[in-house]
Amino acid sequence: MTETTTFQRDPSQVWDWDRFIAHYQQLEQSPKLDQVRLGQVLRVALYARVSLEEQARGYSIQEQVHAGESYTTAHKWTVVDTYRDEGFSGTNARRPAFQRMLRDVKRGRIDAIVVHKIDRFYRNAQGMLQTYEALQRQGVLFTSLCERIDFSRPEGKLMLAMLSTLAEIYVTNLREETRKGKKGRARSGLWNGSIPFGYCRGNCSTCTDNNGPDYCPEYGTPDRNHDPEVLVPHPIESRGVLFAFQQYAAGQFSDRDIAEMLNQYVVTLPDGTEVPLRSKGRNYRQASRGASNA
């Protein structure tokens, strides 16, 4: 079983200045790094991260890596590995690449860690500060390209504590605003996230759904709906939803039984065409081409 380094905190605690000062004093008591070894070739780890939400907004992890590579090249350092966590929150310590990097630190394979910005490394103040202290104990330098601060100096440690706290406050506020937004949509009778199975937007003439062509009989026909906040029953999927509810109401089948029946369910169209039910969002045409080329 893989060992995971985590830094737990009581979620009921509210960040206050007493805790802030305590973390700063904790850093001040940690071992001092030697002066930056100018001219010496360092073995550098590049760390990059994006969350699922940031991926959806087009935030590029490759740009973080490119910035790190440019920085290390300018300093004539050697990049020993690039650690990428795609789709992971910075509040979570159980990130695969992050944990692999920490293990390599313990094994003495890394002299320095370069990140694009502090919040790429952590969005949890306590986790950030404790991890930084652990890096100091291993004699590993930590560099953030955007902040450009010497974190080995007292004033740098103070800035690290402040920036880590701000990163944590940001993600906490964002989480709360997202939660409120979802509740508001629910109160208005709207969906959250992807369109639920059984429904579609009804914009048939401009449909871009993977399951549109060769699946939906309304694909390419005039639009059945013009309101983006309103969903309409999908011609195929809605039949599957009705079937699932009927089987559940019968009280004779488990959820697993119904799922297996849906996998075998076939919708018969008025012209006699039989259409097997598909999962939502999957690109079956691309999958079938890949299978035929295998």
**Tokens found for residue 254:** 């488990």
Q: Spell out the residues 6+ positions from residue 24 whose beta carbon is closer than 8 angstroms to its own.
A: 157, 158, 161
Determine the average pLDDT of the residues in 245-263. Answer: 92
| pLDDT above 80 (res 141) | yes
Question: In three state form, how does the secondary structure of 125-156 look?
Answer: HHHHHHHHHHHHHCCCEEEECCCCCCCCCHHH
Q: What percent of the chain has pLDDT over 70?
A: 74
CA 223 to mean position of chain CA atoms: 34
Strands (E), the chain: 43-50, 78-86, 112-115, 141-144, 199-200, 232-233, 266-268, 274-276
The pLDDT confidence band at residue 139, using thresholds 50, 70 and 90, is confident
**116-132 tens-digit pLDDT:** 988 898 887 777 878 88
pLDDT for 12-40, tens place per residue? 444 455 555 555 555 555 443 343 444 56
pLDDT number for residue 101: 96
Joined together, the tokens standing for residue 44 give 């550098």
Spatial separation of the C-alpha atoms in residues 105 and 142, rounded to whole Å: 12
pLDDT(293) > 50: no
What average pLDDT does the segment 205-210 reach? 84
The region of weakest confidence among 84-93, 187-196, 218-227 is 187-196
**Mean pLDDT in the chain?**
78
Looking at residue 6, what is its pLDDT? 43
| Domains of the chain with bracketed CATH | 17-174 (3.40.50.1390), 199-287 (no CATH)
* Selected residue with higher pLDDT from 288 and 58: 58
How far is residue 117 CA from its own chain's centroid? 16
Structure confidence at residue 153 (pLDDT):
63
Residue 210 has pLDDT above 90, yes or no: no
Query: Pairing between strand 199-200 and 266-268?
Result: unpaired
Residue 151 confidence class, pLDDT cut points 50, 70, 90: low
What confidence category does residue 272 fall into, taking pLDDT thresholds of 50, 70 and 90?
Answer: confident
**Residue 3 pLDDT more than 70?**
no
Q: Is the pLDDT of residue 157 over 90?
A: no
